[in-house]
Amino acid sequence: MFTLAGCWGFCLLRRFCPVHIDWKPGLLCCAYIECELGIGMAAWIEMIDDDDADEELLDVLNLSRTPHGTVDNVMRVHSLRPSTMRGHVVLYRAVLHDAANTLPVWLQECVASWVSILNQCEYSLANHWANARHLIDDDPRAEKIYAALNSGTPESAFGKAEAVLFEYARKLTLEPANMEEQDVWDLRGEGFSDGEILELNQIVGYFNYVNRLLNGLGVSTENDTVGYYASEKSKRR
C-alpha cells in the first residue's frame, strides 16, 4: 500500500518525477507515476536522449550506433558517464566483431547466449540469440541448439569440441575460482588454438560483465531494435 509519504519517497528515488494521485475510499494511492527521464522506464537510472545530449555525449552516442542507426539501451544506460560508454562499445566490438577473430561468429553468439542464460539476463539473451539464430540460418538446427542451451545441456546439440567449449564457459561463469590450467589444455586437445581460447575467454568475461550491468540497472529492450544484424541475411562462417 502506498501512503502519501511513500509516494513522495518513491518520487525522490525517481528524481522528483511528477506524481498523479487518485483518491479511493480510505486509501491514498499512486495511480501512476510519470518520469521525465529522457527515455522513460527502460532502466532504473536516468538515460539521456539524443536531443538532450551535449557535444561530448552525442559524439559517443554516434560511435555507439548499431547497423540500424539506433543506440541500444545497453549503451545508452552509460549516458551519464560517456567515458564508460566509449570504453564499453570499443570492448564489445573488439570481442565480438573483430575481423581477426577466428571462432565462427554464430558460435560466438551461441556462447554469448549460453552465458546470458546462466546469468538469467533476458536482455542479452534476447539480442544475442536473435543474432545466433540469424547466423545459423537453419530454423530446425537453431531450435535444437536453443533447447539444449536453455535446458543446460549444450552437449546434446554439439559435438565433443564445442561441448568442451561450452563447459569452459559454464565453469568460468559459475565457478571462476575453480578454473585450472587443465581447462585450457582440454580446449587445446579439441583443436582450439590459443588465440581462439583467448577469444572464448573474452566473450565469457564480457558477457559476465554486461549481464551484471544490465541486471543491476534494470535495463530493458524497450525502444530497442533487438538483434545486431540488419534485415538482409548474413552468410554463416
Domain-located, residue 60: yes
Query: Max CA-CA distance within the chain?
Result: 71
CATH number of the domain bearing residue 121:
1.20.1290.10
DSSP secondary structure of the chain: ---HHHHHHHHHHTTS--EEEEEETTEEEEEEE---SBS-SSSSS-B--GGG--HHHHHHHHHT--TTS---HHHHTTTTSHHHHHHHHHHHHHHHS-TT--S-HHHHHHHHHHHHHHTT-HHHHHHHHHHHHHHH--HHHHHHHHHHHHTT-GGGTS-HHHHHHHHHHHHHHH-GGG--HHHHHHHHHTT--HHHHHHHHHHHHHHHHHHHHHHHTT---TT---SSS-SSPPPP-
Average pLDDT over residues 190-219: 98
Q: Which residue has the higher pLDDT, 6 or 98?
A: 98
Report the number of distinct structural domains present in the chain.
3
Domain-located, residue 42: no
Which pLDDT belongs to residue 105?
97
**Distance between CA atoms of residues 181 and 195, nearest Å:** 16
Query: Is residue 194 scored above 50 in pLDDT?
Result: yes
Q: What percent of the chain has pLDDT over 70?
A: 79
Query: Is residue 205 scored above 70 in pLDDT?
Result: yes
Q: Rounded to the nearest 10 degrees, what angle do helices 160-174 and 105-118 cross at?
A: 40
- Encode pLDDT of 36-77 as tens digits: 444 457 999 999 999 999 999 999 999 999 988 999 999 999
Q: What domain range includes position 210?
A: 99-216
First to last CA, the chain: 55
Beta bridge partners of 22: 29
C-alpha cell at 58: 552525442
CB-CB neighbours of 160 under 10 Å: 10
Question: Confidence band (pLDDT; 50, 70, 90) for 225?
Answer: confident
Contacts of 65 (CB under 8 A, 6+ apart): 71
Q: Which residue has the higher pLDDT, 223 or 27?
A: 223
Domain-located, residue 65: yes
Together in a domain, 113 and 204: yes
Which pLDDT belongs to residue 60?
98
Together in a domain, 71 and 103: no
Together in a domain, 59 and 107: no
Which pLDDT belongs to residue 229?
64
Q: Is the pTM higher than 0.95? A: no
Domain-located, residue 112: yes
Contacts of 167 (CB under 8 A, 6+ apart): 155, 186
Q: Which residue has the higher pLDDT, 1 or 78?
A: 78
- Encode pLDDT of 126-169 as tens digits: 999 999 999 999 999 999 999 999 999 999 999 999 999 999 99
